[in-house]
Amino acid sequence: MFLIFTASVELNSLYTIFVVLGVVAFWFFEKLLVSKYEAKMNKYLLLIVYLLFFAVLVGAFALILFIWNFDIINYVNTSFDQFIVFIEQSIGRLISSLVVIFLVLFILKAAKITFNRIGLKESQNQRRKRTIAKLILSLFRYLFGAIAILIVLAIWGVNVGPALAGLGIAGLVIGLGAQKFINDLISGFFIVFEHHYDVGDTIEAGGFRGEVTEIGLKTTKLKNYKGEVKIIANGDVTTLINHSKLPTLAIVEFGISYDANMQQTMDILNEELPKLVNEMPEIIEGPSVLGVIDLANSSVNMRVTAKVMNLQHFGVERKLRQRIKEVLDAHDIEIPFPQLVVHHSKTE
Q: Report the pLDDT value the prediction gives residue 5, as an integer from 0 to 100.
A: 40
**Of the listed ranges 19-28, 126-135, 199-208, 289-298, the one predicted with least confidence:** 126-135
Q: Which of 195, 306, 191 is nearest to 245 (CA)?
A: 195
State how far the Cα of 177 lies from the Cα of 10, in Å rounded to an integer. Answer: 51
CA atoms within 13 A on the CB side of 114: 9
List, in order, residues 6 or more apart from 43 with CB less than 8 Å away: none
**Of the listed ranges 101-105, 197-201, 287-291, 324-328, the one predicted with least confidence:** 197-201
What percent of the chain has pLDDT above 90? 0
Residue 192: burial class (beta carbons within 10 Å; 0-12, 13-18, 19+): buried
Q: Report the pLDDT value the prediction gives residue 2, as an integer from 0 to 100.
A: 39
Which has more pLDDT, 133 or 54?
54
DSSP sequence for 30-58: HHHHHHHHTTTS-HHHHHHHHHHHHHHHH
Which has more pLDDT, 213 or 130?
213
Which has more pLDDT, 218 or 166?
218
Q: Report the pLDDT value the prediction gives residue 240, as an integer from 0 to 100.
A: 81
> Domain 248-330 classified CATH 3.90.100.10?
no
pLDDT per position as a tens digit, 231-290: 888 777 778 888 777 788 888 888 888 888 888 888 888 888 888 888 888 888 878 888
Q: State which amino acid sits at residue 193.
A: F
User: DSSP letter at 297?
Assistant: S
pLDDT per position as a tens digit, 157-206: 777 666 666 666 666 655 555 667 777 777 777 777 767 777 778 888 87
Q: Which fold has domain 187-242?
A: SH3 type barrels. (2.30.30)
Q: Report the pLDDT value the prediction gives residue 314, as an integer from 0 to 100.
A: 83
What are the distances in angstroms from CA 328 to CA 290, 295, 325?
Answer: 17, 19, 5
Q: Report the pLDDT value the prediction gives residue 7, as an integer from 0 to 100.
A: 45
Stretch 63-92: mean pLDDT: 76
